[in-house]
Amino acid sequence: MLYNIDVYLKTEEDAGGGSVLTIIGLSGGSGSGKTTAAAVMASLGAAVIDTDRVYRDLCVPGSPCLSELAGVFGKEILLPDGALDRKKLGALVFSDAAARLRLNAITHAYIAEKTKRLIKEYDASGMEAVVIDAPLLFESGFDAFCDITVGVTAPLDVRMARIIARDGLTAEEAEKRIASQLSDEELSRRCDFIIENRGTNEELVRAVESFYMNAVGGIRS
C-alpha cells in the first residue's frame, strides 16, 4: 500500500524559546510511529525523555507513586511480586474516563517532577536539544515545558494493526486505547508541527530528520 508523508508547520507563533537548550515536545497516538520519531531525533544528538519509561521507573515496587496508585485502584493492580500489573490497570482506565482522570492526576505529578529534573541535568551538560516523548503531552500539561511541539499521525487501520501485533491486544482493546487518546484532528490543532506517517519507515525517518534540522536550527535563528 502506498502512502505519503508530509511535514508541515501548523503555526509560527510562540516557536521561539531563547534558551540554549531547545525543548521539543513529541506526541502521537499509539501505533502512530512516535517511538521511531524519537529514536531518529536521538540519533541526531537530542536527549530523549520517554515519559512512559519515566512512569515505569517511578512505579517500582514500594515506590510512593505505586503505593498511591494501589491505594486508589486497589491491590489487584499489583502482581504477586508487588510490581505494577500494567495490563490490568490499563483495562481499568481505558474503558473508564473517570478512572483515567484519577490515574493521570496521580502519575502526571510524579512524572513532571522527574522530567523537570532531567531537563535541568541535560541543560547543565550542554545538550543541544531535549525531546519530551509524551503520548499525553497536552493532557498532562507537559507542553508548557516546550519551545516547540510536534505530533506524529498515521491512518487508523495502520495504527490498529501495529497495536494488535505489538502489544497482543484484541481489536476491541486496541479501539478503546485509541479512543482514549487525542484524535489526529485535535493533535494537529494543538501541535506546532505535524508529521503525517503515511509511507515507508525510510520516508518517516527522512521526514523526522528534516523536521529536526529545521526546527532546532530555526528556533535559534
C-alpha cell at 5: 508523508
pLDDT tier at 30 (50, 70, 90 boundaries)? Answer: very high
pLDDT in tens, 86-126: 989 988 887 788 999 999 999 999 999 999 999 999 999 99
Tell whether the model's pLDDT for residue 1 goes beyond 70. no
Kindly report the length of the chain: 221
pLDDT tier at 219 (50, 70, 90 boundaries)? Answer: low
Query: What's the confidence (pLDDT) of residue 210?
Result: 95
pLDDT in tens, 137-195: 998 899 999 999 999 999 999 999 999 999 888 999 899 889 888 999 999 999 999 99
Contact at 8 Å (CB) between 29 and 151? no
Query: What's the confidence (pLDDT) of residue 95?
Result: 79
Query: What's the confidence (pLDDT) of residue 58?
Result: 94
> What are the sequence ranges of the domains in the chain?
6-220
Tell whether the model's pLDDT for residue 12 goes beyond 80. no
- CATH classification number, 6-220, choose in 3.40.190.10, 3.40.50.300, 3.40.50.1820, 3.30.2290.10: 3.40.50.300
Tell whether the model's pLDDT for residue 14 goes beyond 50. no
Query: What's the confidence (pLDDT) of residue 71?
Result: 95
DSSP string over 102-130: HHHHHHHHHHHHHHHHHHHHHHHTT-SEE
- Give phi and psi for 18, each to the nearest 5: 80, -5
Contact at 8 Å (CB) between 200 and 158? no
pLDDT tier at 218 (50, 70, 90 boundaries)? Answer: low
pLDDT in tens, 15-28: 444 457 999 999 99
pLDDT in tens, 60-86: 999 999 999 999 999 999 999 999 999
Number of Cβ atoms within 10 Å of the Cβ of 23 = 23
